C-alpha cells in the first residue's frame, strides 16, 4: 500500500494462490484471508502487543511480561514459557494449566537461541526441528504419546500456522522470504533496507522486530559464535580511521612544551611553509581518549598550524604499547597534558 505494507501475496502455479493482508492505522496486521477462504484476525493492547488471534472462530489469548510472551490460552490448550533471565532465549515450556496439570518440557537451543529440540523430564526428545538460514522450517520431528506443537522460532518470534508467518513483536516476519511484511517502525535507524531481517542470520538476531543487533561477546541473550578459527562478526561500530585530514589544530591537546631558539626557528620554518602552500606529508601523531586528541609527536607543526590557522593531517595511534614514544600509557598522556605549561618561544625582534 502507500505506506509500504504488503497487502496481497500471490503464490503457486500461475500465481493463483492469493493471500490478502489488512492493517490498522498503526500499520499492525489485523487480519488476513487465505486462498482457501480461511480467515484470521489479530488484536493488540495499548502497548502494541498481540493479545488475541482468532482463526476460523477459534480464539487464542496471549499474556505478556514486558516484551516477553509468557503464556497463551485457548479452549483446547494452555502453555507458559520461561526464559533465561534478561534474554529472549526460552528455557522451558509448561503445557497445561495449574501446578498439578502443567507438564514441563525443556528447550535445547542453538548458538542463536533458536529451539532445536524439546525434551521431557526424562530427556526424551518430543519435538525437534531443522531450519534454513532465515528460519524457515525444513523438517519437524514429533514424538511421544501426544504430539506437542512448539511455536517459538528465532528469538522473540512466534509461529502462526494459519499464515506461515512469525509474529515478531512489532512486525510479522516471513521466513520463506527472509523479510518483514512492513517497513521498520524505527525507519532508517534500522538500516537502509527497512524490510530486511538481519544482515547475517547466522550471527544476528532481532527479538523485537526493530533494528537487529549483534551484541558484544559474553553478553547473554544474543551471543555471536566465534566461528572457525575464532572469527568474529563485525558488530557494526566503525573503527576510528588511522589517518584524518583537515583537522583544526586548536582541537589537539599538547602533552609537553616547546621552548628556546631551536624550537622557535623550527616553528618559523613550518609557518613559512604553511603560508606558501604547506604539503602535509608528515602527519601529526595523536592518540584519542574520551573524544579528545592528544599530540604524541608534532608539537612544532601543531604550534605553527595554530598560528597560521592551517588545518593539519593527523595519524591516530590506537595502542601506546606498540608506539615507540616516551609515554607508555594513557595515564602518562593524561598526566602530561594536565601539567603542561605555556610554550616559551622567542619573538622575532623588529629591525
Long-range CB pairs of 139-144 (<8 Å, 24+ gap) are: 144/120
Cα distances (angstroms) measured from residue 184 to each of 170, 194, 196, 270, 271: 9, 5, 9, 53, 53
Q: Which residues contact 69 (CB under 8 A, 6 or more apart)?
A: 62, 63, 81, 158
Strand partners, 58: 55
- Among residues 90, 84, 233, which one has the least CA distance to residue 150? 90
pLDDT at 348: 60
pLDDT at res. 155: 96
Nearest CA to 222 among 200, 207, 237?
207
Burial of 125 (0-12, 13-18, 19+ CB in 10 A): middle
Burial of residue 163 (number of CB atoms within 10 Å: 0-12, 13-18, 19+) = buried
CATH of 243-339, one of 3.50.50.60, 3.30.930.10, 3.90.1530.10, 3.40.30.10: 3.90.1530.10
Asked if 221 and 86 count as a contact pair (C-beta separation under 8 A), the reply is: yes
Give the span between the Cα atoms of 88 and 86, in whole angstroms. Answer: 7
List every span in the chain annotated with CATH 3.90.1530.10: 243-339
What does the block give as the cell for 102? 502443567
| Residue given cell 523485537 in the structure block | 208
pLDDT at residue number 237? 45
Task: Please list the pLDDT of the chain residue by residue as tens digits (351 residues).
Answer: 999 999 999 988 888 899 999 999 999 999 999 999 999 999 999 999 999 999 999 999 999 999 999 999 999 999 999 999 999 999 999 999 888 889 999 999 999 999 999 999 999 999 999 999 999 999 999 986 667 889 999 999 999 999 999 999 999 999 999 999 999 998 877 778 899 999 889 889 999 998 766 544 444 444 434 333 333 444 444 455 577 777 889 999 999 999 889 999 999 988 888 888 665 567 899 998 888 899 999 999 999 989 988 888 888 888 888 888 888 899 999 999 999 888 888 766 555
Q: Which residues contact 315 (CB under 8 A, 6 or more apart)?
A: 242, 243, 283, 284, 285, 286
**Grid coordinates of 289:** 581518549
Instruction: Enter the C-alpha cell of residue 45.
Output: 493492547
DSSP labels, 3-36: TS---EEEESGGG-EEEEEEE-TTS-EEEEE-TT
The β-bridge relationship of strands 292-297 and 179-180 is unpaired
Helices then strands, counting H and E runs in the chain, come out as: 3, 22
Amino acid at each position: 500500500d502507500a505506506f509500504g505494507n504488503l497487502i496481497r501475496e500471490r503464490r503457486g502455479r500461475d500465481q493463483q494462490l492469493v493471500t490478502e493482508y489488512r492493517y490498522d492505522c498503526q500499520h499492525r496486521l489485523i487480519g488476513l484471508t487465505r486462498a482457501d477462504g480461511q480467515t484470521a484476525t489479530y488484536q493488540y493492547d495499548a502497548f502494541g502487543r498481540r493479545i488475541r488471534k482468532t482463526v476460523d472462530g477459534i480464539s487464542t489469548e496471549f499474556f505478556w511480561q514486558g516484551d516477553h510472551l509468557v503464556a497463551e490460552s485457548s479452549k483446547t490448550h494452555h502453555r507458559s514459557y520461561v526464559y533465561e533471565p534478561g534474554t529472549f532465549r526460552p528455557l522451558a515450556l509448561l503445557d497445561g494449566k495449574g501446578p498439578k496439570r502443567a507438564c514441563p518440557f525443556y528447550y535445547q537451543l542453538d548458538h542463536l537461541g533458536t529451539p532445536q529440540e524439546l525434551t521431557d523430564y526424562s530427556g526424551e526428545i518430543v519435538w525437534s526441528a531443522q531450519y534454513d538460514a532465515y528460519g524457515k522450517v525444513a523438517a519437524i520431528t514429533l514424538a511421544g504419546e501426544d504430539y506437542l506443537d512448539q511455536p517459538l522460532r528465532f528469538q522473540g518470534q512466534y509461529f502462526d500456522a494459519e499464515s506461515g508467518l512469525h509474529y515478531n513483536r512489532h512486525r510479522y516476519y516471513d521466513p520463506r522470504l527472509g523479510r518483514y511484511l512492513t517497513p521498520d517502525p524505527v525507519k532508517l535507524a534500522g538500516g537502509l533496507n527497512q524490510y530486511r531481517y538481519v544482515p547475517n542470520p547466522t550471527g544476528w538476531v532481532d527479538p523485537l522486530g526493530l533494528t537487529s543487533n549483534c551484541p558484544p561477546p559474553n553478553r547473554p541473550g544474543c551471543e555471536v559464535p566465534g566461528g572457525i578459527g575464532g572469527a568474529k562478526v563485525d558488530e557494526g561500530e566503525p573503527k576510528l580511521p588511522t589517518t584524518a585530514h583537515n583537522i583544526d589544530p586548536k582541537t589537539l591537546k599538547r602533552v609537553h612544551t616547546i621552548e628556546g631558539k631551536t624550537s622557535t626557528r623550527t616553528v618559523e620554518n613550518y609557518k613559512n611553509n604553511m603560508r606558501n602552500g604547506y604539503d602535509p606529508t608528515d602527519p601529526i601523531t595523536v592518540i584519542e581518549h574520551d573524544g579528545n586528541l592528544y599530540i604524541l609527536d608534532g608539537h612544532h607543526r601543531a604550534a605553527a598550524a595554530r598560528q597560521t590557522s592551517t588545518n593539519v593531517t593527523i595519524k591516530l595511534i590506537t595502542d601506546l604499547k606498540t608506539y615507540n614514544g616516551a609515554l607508555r600509557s594513557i595515564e602518562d598522556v593524561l598526566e602530561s597534558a594536565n601539567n603542561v605549561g605555556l610554550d616559551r618561544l622567542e619573538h622575532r625582534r623588529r629591525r
